[in-house]
Structure 1
């Protein structure tokens, strides 16, 4: 089952187009076809302009995609990687930075990647590919799958009904598991993610408010400065530097006995 364009679904267009692009804001993402991606991307460009939105980054390199990616048509999966700046190749090359393995990956491609030490991303993990599309982070931290040599036509003809049924059951179970995760677990994860983001944003806003408030307050005087200021106000003669006479300190503390802590608490 392919991810469908949310824009087409919202407009109730007669033809549901497969999604090829994800526009992400914070922890939320929207699956869109090429037409709606250009349309909504144009809105953002008109609103914010294009200055500074294209930072110079290293070319991600090339990627090998093999096997069926759950939830994506082959063309849509490849376009999603191309939108991330990757170049799709059929075999491991010098600049290949990742191999994305779906259901039934090609054994020779997996073997090439394993021998070259190319990082692997297991796209059969529930939601792994969509999460990478949404976040823009393509990380190869999975083991290269154990695959058998590609079956020949003779092998297919020799496949018994029982073997065929078992293979189809494995494929159906994998797809059912993915669809169940997308219907039940993904919304919960997205909601929790949005809540965490909201809490973090509120904490940052409160910290910034406190920082601005502190910056606008007059600098707090040291105890020595407070004694000098009090002494001058009450007729004592004190120098700008050096040690303050003991009787002045004693008079200050007597005058503020039981008051200093209250004043500090009110100031804070």
Structure 2
């Protein structure tokens, strides 16, 4: 014959949860401080153990038992303070510290995302004014810089780009790709695609005098003027000094643009 016997089961709930928000979470261990004992769940067991270690330190063996997270048997301490109030304060501060760290991490992530790639524009882009070309680049999500830095990803070379030796030197030093904007439709297609890429060769920089002419252009004008005035000059190589001197005397008071027109 079977006989059913009802045995009462006693459930222990975490005192920290009940004191904080009234919720009932099953306790897994106890914490005893002097004449006071608290039932704790695993979460508060670990939190309070860490708190006691941080506040009181790990005592010497002669003074007290080493502080550790409360287990099934509990950890005994001799304290005259109000342990429940201290323990609950530690429980409230722990999540706040974690949230603060998370906020710092998210702020750093946002700062990294705010760094936009930049490009350099050298020379004139056909069909665009300088301001229009730069605005088109910015609308595609890039910054326009005068000197290359760590954010620079490309150099856009238009007409006369070879005269800006500084930008070309920056691009060559950093190994930046080049987009030749003098190719018909190249710049406009990049604007429509919303992305600037390049695989063209960098133009070689040329020496530019105070007149705004490159050395090659100036030599061409000197040779042309010399032949028209009866001087004999080689097609290539060094131009005689007296020929250069005569050219400079003739055009000393004449703007370079008028000399070209003549």
Q: Could you tell me the TM-score, scaled by structure 1's length?
A: 0.37
Q: Could you tell me the TM-score, scaled by structure 2's length?
A: 0.37
- Which of 1 and 2 has greater Rg? 2
Higher relative contact order (CA 8 A, sep 6+): 1
- Greater helix share, structure number: 1
